Chains A and B, each alone.
Chain A
Amino acid sequence: MSSRWLFVLPLLMALLLGGFFGYALLAGRSPEEIGSPLVGKPAPSIDLAPLHEGGKRLAAADWRGQVSVVNFFASWCAPCQVEHPLLMRMARDGVRVQGVNYKNKPEDAKPWLARLGDPYERIGVDADGKAGVEFGLSGVPETFVIDRAGIVRLHLRRPLTPDDAQRIRALVKELAK
């Protein structure tokens, strides 16, 4: 009886391993699997120089007292351009959107914004990606919603979809109450 089991074992193991590999192949891994441990925690403290001359610095203090959407972007990032119109619409509808210009030369970022429109109330320059690490960034674009107390409420590790934009709008409205 027990020795018969031993003959089935290799088959069982093969099935088990095959199952794991098949799952890994078919599960469709995405960066969102990393998760967003910052949600529910205070937004990291950053203090970034402005992109535009005469603009205001983008600092953690700016997130107190008002609901903010913080969007990491770069002119070299194609998905950033795809989600851009959604941010423009959000800004037009009165949502406070802050930008972090991630590892992007100002001389590249400025014409990009001039061409596509500038939805950002403030833009901080993250030249070396330090603010990116502070925010647990894994790529651009990524978007955060920060409530009035400075707590991160939403973190999307992907370019915004129209559904995301809708969700953010609703969340901002809810948090602003």
Chain B
Amino acid sequence: MILLALLAAPALAVEPDEVLADKALEKRAREISAEIRCVVCQNQSIDDSNAEIARDMRRAIRERLTRGDSDDAVVAFLRARYGDYILLRPPFDPRTWLLWLGPPLLLLFVGRLLYRRARARAALVADAPRELTAAERRRLDALLREDETDRQ
């Protein structure tokens, strides 16, 4: 049962009648559509989505590729009609810099905190009273013994 489930191919939204005969073109089409966000299903790519509009967009992509358009031209065509919304990987611009830089900045901030904490702990260890050396120990024992005899 489990084996069967594992063997089952993932359900594909791309339907057989959409697939291009030209393997190289089909591969490019799949790569483009994996990066295009479906406009009615929010966070699915049109490659994943069974929505009608996603299917229409996949067909438009294939049609343009077959006509000889470059990948960039195809994405530009969709972007001119649906805007940056359609890009699953948003472009780096003033509206999105926080989105892109946020995680590395946060990482840097936390890294700095951890580093400072480690440094502070090391300093504490350095200041802590260290073990007496053998010579010191002997001298201390001698002094204590003297003290003892004085009191007697």
Contact = CB atoms under 8 A, between A and B. Distances in A.
Majority SS at the chain A contact face = loop
Contacts of A33: 85
Interface stretch (B3-11, B50-58, B132-140, B142-150): B50-58
B12 interface: no
B82 interface: yes
Nearest to A36: B83
B114 A6 contact: yes
B90 to A, nearest CB: 13
A103 B52 contact: yes
B33 to A, nearest CB: 13
A34 B79 contact: no
Contacts of B113: 2, 5-6, 9
B152 interface: no
A166 interface: no
Interface stretch (A57-65, A77-85, A129-137): A129-137
B27 interface: no
Contacts of B53: 129, 132-133, 137-139
Interface string A1-30: 011011001000000000000000000010
Nearest to A5: B113
Interface residues of A, number: 27
Interface in B68-91: 79-83, 85-86
Contact of B120 (A2, A35, A44): A2
Contacts of B86: 34
Contact of B40 (A31, A38, A136): A31
B40 A133 contact: no
Contacts of B60: 130, 133
A37 to B, nearest CB: 4
A133 B110 CA distance: 46
A37 B83 contact: yes
A29 B8 CA distance: 35
Given A2-B120, A31-B40, A38 B56 contact: no
A139 B40 contact: yes
A37 B81 contact: yes
B81 A3 contact: no
Interface of A: 2-3, 5-6, 9, 29, 31, 33-38, 41, 44, 103, 128-130, 132-139
Interface of B: 39-40, 42, 52-53, 56-57, 59-60, 79-83, 85-86, 110, 113-114, 116-117, 120
Given A2-B120, A103-B52, 18 more contacts: A2-B116, A3-B117, A6-B117, A9-B110, A29-B42, A35-B85, A37-B79, A37-B80, A41-B80, A128-B59, A129-B52, A132-B53, A133-B57, A136-B80, A136-B82, A138-B53, A138-B82, A139-B40
